[in-house]
Amino acid sequence: MKFIKYFVVFVVVFTACKTKKSLIDSSVLAEEMSAKKVARKHVAANFDKKTIDAKLKANFNNSKLKQTFSVSFKIKKDEVIWLKGTKFITLFKAKITPTSVRFYSSLNKTYFDGDFSMLKKILGTDINFNQLQNLLLGQSLLNVKKKKQEVIIENNSYVLSPNEQEKLFDIFFSVNPSHFKLNKQSIVNSKKNRRLDVVYPSYNIFAGVIFPTEIKIKAKQPGSFTNIDFTLKSVQFDTDVNTSFSIPKGYKQIKI
């Protein structure tokens, strides 16, 4: 009986310790820190696995179309981003590489095979492969160590912004004081009334990796908007991922 008693105590304590280590401490307060140190810690928190294989729930709304569907999401880091949307049937597939964007819609029987102009149309701002990959991983769209940054503390986040903003837009990165991934990033073009906000309401730890469990993308430009909310259902790292892609015959090409 004593053995059982001690064994139960051991299991409870071990489980509690293990759980405690797995949790992200959301009570950490942002204390005074130089912009250089915040930038360094954010870059150090970058995703370092070779592949991602995830299942997501997506809510899409652009005023013309409002839909909820499931997404298979695969990444070969720095090589391929692969997406498949389903709702009983396959709605779309996309394969994005550093040099191309390929996409087809099963509903409209259309496809796109070209450059990043498709993503610019959706998000309202120029974006390249590395920036899109960072956007999906909770990292800054621009290299915060490349330019000198300013930092303020706002809503318990370190808000980084370049000392000299870009000519066409302003950009801001809100860094979480606990794990130094992003809480939010924004690109604002006031002259053209365009902005892109990407919010990361929550993260969790999977196999020792801090990974966003929610992403909210809000793109606004004159006369239109696009809102995409992703909720993580499952994720695996460093597995073999199949990113094969082919456009079905008979589909009509989209020109942008």
Q: What ranges do the domains of the chain cover?
A: 32-231
Measured in residues, the chain has a length of: 256
216-219 long-range contacts (CB < 8 A, ≥24 apart) are 217/123, 217/135, 219/122, 219/123, 219/124, 219/125, 219/195
* pLDDT tops 80 at residue 116: yes
**pLDDT for res 9:** 36
Q: What is the CATH number of domain 32-231?
A: 2.50.20.10
**pLDDT for res 23:** 59
192 phi and psi angles, rounded to 5 deg: -100, 5
Q: What is the pLDDT of residues 161-191, one digit of tens each?
A: 988 777 668 899 999 999 999 999 999 988 8
Provide the mean pLDDT of the chain: 88
pTM for this predicted structure: 0.86
DSSP state of 192: T
